[in-house]
Chain A
Amino acid sequence: MVDLSVNLNGFKLKNPIITASGTYGYADEYDDFINVSELGAIVTKAISIEPKKGNSGERLFETYGGMINRIGLENVGIKEFISKKLPTLKDKNINFIMNLAGSSVEDYIKAAEVAQNAGIKAVEVNVSCPNVKQGCLEFGTNPNSLGHLTSEIRKIYKGFLIIKLTPNVADIESLAKSAESNGADCISAINTLKGLGVKIEITPDKNIKKTFVQGGLSGKCIKPVALSMVKRIKSSVQIPIIGIGGISTVDDVLEFLTVGADAIQIGTENFRHPDVTIKIKNELNNIIESLNLKSLDDLKRKLRNE
């Protein structure tokens, strides 16, 4: 029996396979495809203190090896999550991480309070949201604002605190360090890359029809960026790292584990293969067995020549 379990600074997963925020709903939505409780954890859709309607207009744009989305954080709001989705997660014994989004430090503090009071074991903070009180600059692009946000949440929330970093920065190391020194228990990386989809069509009446979709790029095409970011984060912090970005096969998982990830998240690939998570989990198990190793930790050590 292979031991696939992961202990991330006290937050325990039965395996390192987590689903990424925004790709898996809030709870058991993928039960039509797999037994969701078999996953290491799911990360909920980003939840804000008030419900959000999200963006109007086209929200998706397919690209080579990926897609751009501009959903605009549409979500049911934290109250409905706690009253309607949380009971399902508990009933079905689904390990989960609640993803939080906000547009001011106060929003995050309020959400963190609700999470604390509801006994939520783990929270992932989406810091790619614009701070409306500071010129709409994203919290996650400046080490000082990220540090401030992290420490304010930390004061209130006692559970496992993950900061999800955005790759749209020059110096990911200083952001990771800022999260760590201000009390984060773990870094997850990366969020989507800023992208622009442009489509030009020539209409039958010889006009030009232009479509623009600006949003977050995800999918296979971002994997090399994600690997690079994870490796750089690993070189700058001691806390565990959850690798995210373009993972679609077990080989991708091995690559992320090698450069420093302790667990991984699968996002866009869930849309192509709704059962990809369980498939990768089983394949990971087989690889560990075939190497005559006993655990995921053994595999990590072997991959990293430790």
Chain B
Amino acid sequence: MKKSHTGKIKYNKEIAKDTFKLVISSDVKEIEAGQFVSVYCENKTLRRPFSVADFENGEITVLYKLKGEGTNYIKNLKENENIDFLAPLGNKFTKEGFKSALLIGAGIGIAPMLFLKKELNKFGIKNHLISGFKDTKEVVEGSNQVVIGGSVLDEIENVVEKIKPDIIYSCGPSIVLKLVSEFGVKHNIKTQIAMEKVMACGIGVCRGCIIELKNGENASVCKDGPVFFGNEIKW
């Protein structure tokens, strides 16, 4: 499968404070929740990886937070301009076999959760998405429950009690993912988390984005991940 693509920018605007939505129309045939794209930035050595927030008929949606030179370059790309990206990269969330799912998106980590929620709905899997933001200006729509200022983790126990999930999915800062994984282990609920790491190749060859697993092996976030079962990771 050819993985390098030139797409056209259909939409690239700020939808919340420092948070942008980018829609690319492309010839990509298939992307599932958890997978990501990596966008070429002319002024940078490394491409920038972004989780996919939606995909339909070749149209790829990503959400990104302004961070530095890479995202500032992407921000300035105009509608109808070409955009060079690699896709689909990485693995997918596991959906098969689950009946009820809790989704937790912290900050921009909401992006893959939105895509996953849509897929779960299609699969008829009951789900509940909690997202957390620093303040109201940063809120991205689409969750069942929004936490402002506090920690998304404070809400877990209540929701778990209510919806009795057999899987918890999460994406966000590493500390949130660690705590979600620990919660899962403690309450005997499976967790799947999407990790983030600085990457170079995006396809598993350069070994730059390695994390260590509990079984002692190295895993690349870009190819073996970005989705891992929380209890597999050596935190």
Contacts and interface: CB of A to CB of B under 8 A. Distances in A.
Contacts of A24: 205
Contact of A59 (B201, B204, B210): B210
Interface stretch (A65-73, A178-186, A223-231): A65-73
A271 B3 contact: no
A274 B44 contact: no
Interface stretch (A50-58, A89-97, A144-152, A168-176): A50-58
Contacts of B45: 62-63, 65-67, 219-220, 268, 271-272
A71 B47 contact: no
Interface in B2-27: 2-4
Interface string A1-41: 00000000000000000000011110001101100000000
B4 A275 contact: yes
B212 A32 contact: no
Contacts of A142: none
A240 B72 CA distance: 44
B148 interface: no
Query: In this complex, which of B3, B40, B47, B205 has the most chain A Cβ atoms within 10 angstroms of its Cβ?
Result: B205
B200 interface: yes
Contacts of B202: 271
Contact of B218 (A30, A53, A60): A53
B2 A71 contact: no
B218 A67 contact: no
Interface in A204-234: 219-220
Given A74-B207, A271-B201, A62 B3 contact: no
Contact of B201 (A62, A219, A270): A270
Nearest to B204: A29
B218 A33 contact: no
Contact of A60 (B4, B44, B205, B209): B209
B207 A59 contact: yes
B40 A23 contact: no
A274 B40 CA distance: 11
A155 interface: no
A76 B50 CA distance: 29
A186 B11 CA distance: 52
A131 B103 CA distance: 50
Interface residues on A, range: 20 to 34
A300 interface: no
A8 B198 CA distance: 38
Given A66-B45, A268-B45, A274 B4 contact: yes
Contacts, number: 80
A69 B4 contact: no
Given A74-B218, A275-B4, A67 B200 contact: yes
A281 interface: no
Contacts of A164: none
B184 interface: no
Nearest to A60: B208
Contacts of A22: 206
A273 interface: yes
A69 B47 contact: no
A219 B44 CA distance: 11
Contacts of A59: 207-210
Interface in B21-63: 40, 44-47
A69 B206 contact: yes
B125 interface: no
A62 B198 contact: yes
Interface in B188-235: 198-210, 212, 218
Contacts of B201: 23, 270-271, 274
B175 interface: no
B207 A58 contact: no
A33 B212 CA distance: 28
A53 B211 CA distance: 11
18 contacts: A24-B205, A29-B204, A32-B3, A32-B203, A53-B218, A59-B207, A60-B198, A60-B208, A61-B198, A66-B45, A69-B206, A71-B206, A219-B45, A220-B45, A271-B45, A271-B200, A271-B206, A275-B4
Interface of A: 22-25, 29-30, 32-33, 45, 53-54, 56, 58-63, 65-67, 69, 71, 74, 219-220, 268, 270-275
Interface of B: 1-4, 40, 44-47, 86, 198-210, 212, 218
Given A69-B206, A274-B203, 5 more contacts: A32-B3, A62-B44, A69-B208, A274-B3, A275-B4
